[in-house]
Structures are given as structure tokens and as C-alpha cells.
Amino acid sequence: MPDMPVPSSFYERPNVEKSVIPVGPGVPLGLEGVFNPRLGIGGVYGSWGQSYGNEALPSFIAERNGRHLEADDVLNLAELGFNYRQHVPKLNQADDMRLELEVGARLLKKTIETCGWDAAEIAGVLIGMTGPISLDYIRQISRMAGIPESALKVSVHKACDGSMGALHLALNPVLSQPGGLNIAEHLRGKKVLVGGIEGLSRITCRTTDKNALQLFGNGMGAIGVIPGETMRFLVGKSYETYDAEGLLAVKMEYPHSGLKAEASLLDVTRELENEVRIAGLMNEPRNGESVEMAGLMGMVKLFVRNGVQVVEDVYREYQSLMERMGETGKSITMGIVHHANYKINALKAKHLSKLGVEFPMPWLLSDFGNVSAASNIIAFLRKLPEINLGDHILFDGFGAGTYYDVMAVAMGE
């Protein structure tokens, strides 16, 4: 994992298109489109709200949430890989809804435009979200973006793993639910949008957790792919294990019925013919707030041990596949890893290296903060111009619950 450059604010990047959404005092929005003509893959990522550097963040938290951080509570955020993040002021519920609908619709519209597609061609929209502002959010933003009502809409609520859970569903036919829709087979060869939209600033308005207040911010990203063509599944693993210690608790803002007889953490519902909700069971904060974290070492304990094992399992399966295909010299070009914080990712890389599992795992989101399910998509888009036809990319998603979606994919035919 390379050294991290100290970035400017996201909005200061030369290719970011800036605008202001007329909600509340006016909310800044930035979107950056990326397209790789060699692969035929494009997408858009961005953020909304004012950008706050590490030094300005404590004052903002005190002003918005009425909570002053003690000197000992202020994190060394640069050491954790974050220099900026975007936040909105505290808004009423109606303005929160208007804002996030507009944000999501603009993301989808711009992604379609960047890919050179027509909205009428879109067959599926799969979005990961930790705390959806409404249960029909994907339906609403798809309609606003001109996407057909008949397109499949899939919402994945597996905390920070949401977008990778969505991508995995779009690519891997083995993930089909018994008796349910096989999403990968349904979408194969069709134009599909996959992403993560995380209005975490809204969520941190409802917590006093000192770590969550400093780490999280707003972020979103979406990519346009044609499963089986522009992105092809090789191997992967979807793994869930209950966080019995409650090291990271998140309020579930969606229906969930609790642990099943088969000990699954997931509820899969299909309330409409073309709408599927994947709802992950979470520990919820005991104090009724939106987020409660056990601390930074708790996060390391939560994600590193199981995370290393899942990545190793997929990597070994990948090596076996390459041997069977007579391509033993082929290797993973890079890993696109969820950006929980730099120390977690660096420790995972260290443990994997000891197991003989090595590939680049770049740190790419210093100007966003932890943006949960959006982070893998943003990281992928930032590396997209460097990826070549035939490259093999490993996606590593993990989130509270806990959930892991790790997959190796081939770029193009």
C-alpha cells in the first residue's frame, strides 16, 4: 500500500463539476465522471455538503451537533488516511429527503451520460446504502433519472459492504436465492448501474459517538457495467458472521425480522416484481442513537481477522482457477478495498503478505472520509483510467454486521 499524498478538498479537483442544490441554505454538490474506452466502462463519483479539513472538523461538530470534542477525543485523522470529508447542516426531514433524492438522481443521470448510454436502455439499478432515507429510494431516483419502471431495482443494506454486495449479486449467479430471482442471470449482457450512495452526514446528526462524528462523511459513486461482457466474474465469496460483541452498532433504518433458523443475517424481500431488498441484520446502539463504535482497536478486531481469511480464500480459489485455465502466470492487478481507515487496510495487507497473498491495495479516498458503501466504487473509478483490457481486479468489501463480499473479476472479454 503506497504512501498517501496530502490532498486538497475534493471540490478543488480540476475535473469536478460543481453546483449547488437549492435545499436549506444551499448544498454544494460535486460530481466527477470517468470513462475508460478500452474497457467500455464508465461511472461517476462525488459528494455533497461543505468540505471540512481535519482542523476545522471539531468546530463544525460543536456547531451542528452541540457536542464539543475534548482534546483527548480528537483523532489523528491524517494518520487514519483522511484529510477532508463533506457534511451538510442539520436539516428537517423534508429537506433531507429532497436533498438525497436530487443527489441520487443526478448521480444516475450523469453515470448514464458518462457511459454514453440512454436511460431507456438500463435494465437494472443496484445500490448499497447503510441507512436509506426511504424504502423506495431507488425507485424514486431511477424514475427521476428517466430509467424505465420495468428495470430491476435492488437495494443492499449491508453497511459498508453494500455496494460490493450489489456488484457481487450482479456478477455471480451462484448467489441466487433458492426459489428466488437469479439476479446475475437476469442481468447478464444487459446495461446495469451499480453503486453506493451514503448520506452519512445525516446519520451522524443523530449520534454522540466521538469516532463516528469524525470519521464519516457523504459520498457516492456508480458505475455502468454489462455483466459477463465489460466485467466478468471469476471467483468470489460472500460471507456473514454475527458480531456477537456488538463492536459496531448501526441503527437499522429498514425492516428486518432478526436471526433466522438457518442463522442467516439477511432478509431478502421482493415486495414488487422488479424490486428486491437485501436487508442485513445489525447490532443497534443501546442508547437509541444512529451509530455506536467500540473504538478504533475494536474496528481492527472486527474486520481484520475474518477479512484476511475471506480474501485469502478467494485468492487461493483464483490461483486454482488460473491453473485450470493454463494461466498460472496471471495475477491480480490490484485490490479495490473498502476504505474503513488506513490502519485497518495496512494491517490486512501485512497479514495477507505473511500468507503469501500480495497485490497492490492503493489508498485513494483521503478527501472523503469513511463513506461506507460508496468507498469501493469511488476507489475503483479513481483507478479506472489505469486498468487495461484483460486485467484481473479483486474487490474487497466488508461492513458492520458483519458482512464480507470479495470477488475477482476480469475486465472485458
In the predicted model, is pLDDT for residue 298 greater than 90? Answer: no
Residue with cell 497492490: 360
Q: What's the pLDDT score for residue 4?
A: 56
State which amino acid sits at residue 87. H
pLDDT at position 188? 97
pLDDT in tens, 1-37: 555 555 689 999 999 999 999 999 999 999 999 999 9
Q: What is the pLDDT of residues 57-97, one digit of tens each?
A: 999 999 998 888 999 999 999 999 999 999 999 999 999 99
pLDDT digits (tens, 9 = 90+) for 267-283: 999 989 999 999 999 99
Q: What is the pLDDT of residue 1?
A: 54
Say whether pLDDT at 325 is over 80. Answer: yes
Confidence (pLDDT) at 300? 87
Backbone phi, then psi, for 393, in 5-degree steps? -115, 135
Whole-number pLDDT of residue 185 = 96
Task: Report the CATH number at residue 125.
Answer: 3.40.47.10
Q: What is the pLDDT of residue 299?
A: 85
Buried b (16+ CB within 10 A) or exposed e, 297-329: ebbbebbbebbbebbbbbbebbbeebeeeeeee
Q: What is the pLDDT of residue 195?
A: 98
Measured CA to CA, the distance from residue 359 to residue 59 in angstroms comes to 40
The pLDDT of residue 91: 96
Q: Using an 8 Å Cβ cutoff, are 54 and 77 in contact?
A: yes
Give the whole-angstrom CA distance, residue 210 versus residue 189.
46
pLDDT beyond 80 at 263: no
Residue 176 has pLDDT above 80, yes or no: no
Residue 385 has pLDDT above 90, yes or no: yes
In this structure, of 52-56, 131-135, 294-298, the range with the lowest mean pLDDT score is: 294-298
5, part of any domain: no
Q: Answer yes or no: is 273 within a domain.
A: yes
Name the packing angle between helices 93-115 and 137-144 (round to 10°): 50
Nearest to 368 by CA among 358, 376, 360: 376
Return the sign of the alpha-carbon dihedral for residues 366, 367, 372, 378.
negative
Domain range holding 247?
A: 10-411
Band of pLDDT at residue 180, cut at 50, 70 and 90:
confident
Band of pLDDT at residue 178, cut at 50, 70 and 90:
low
Task: Report the pLDDT value the prediction gives residue 5, as an integer from 0 to 100.
Answer: 58
Q: Would residue 101 count as lying in a domain?
A: yes
Cell numbers for 106, please give them: 443526478
In a domain, 48, yes or no: yes
Residue 375: predicted pLDDT: 98
pLDDT for 367 = 96
At residue 222, does pLDDT exceed 70?
Answer: yes
Query: What's the total number of domains in the chain?
Result: 1
**Residue 230 placed within a domain:** yes
Instruction: Kindly provide the residue ranges of all beta strands, DSSP E only, lying in 11-135, ordered along the sequence.
Output: 17-21, 27-36, 41-48, 50-53, 84-87, 122-128
27-31, 127-131, 269-273, 384-388: least confidently modelled range: 269-273
Output the pTM of the full model: 0.97
335 has pLDDT over 70: yes
Please report whether residue 59 resides in a domain. Answer: yes
Rounded mean pLDDT of the chain?
A: 95
pLDDT value at residue 262: 75
Nearest C-alpha neighbor of 73 from the set 88, 89, 62: 62
The answer to whether position 51 is within a domain reads: yes
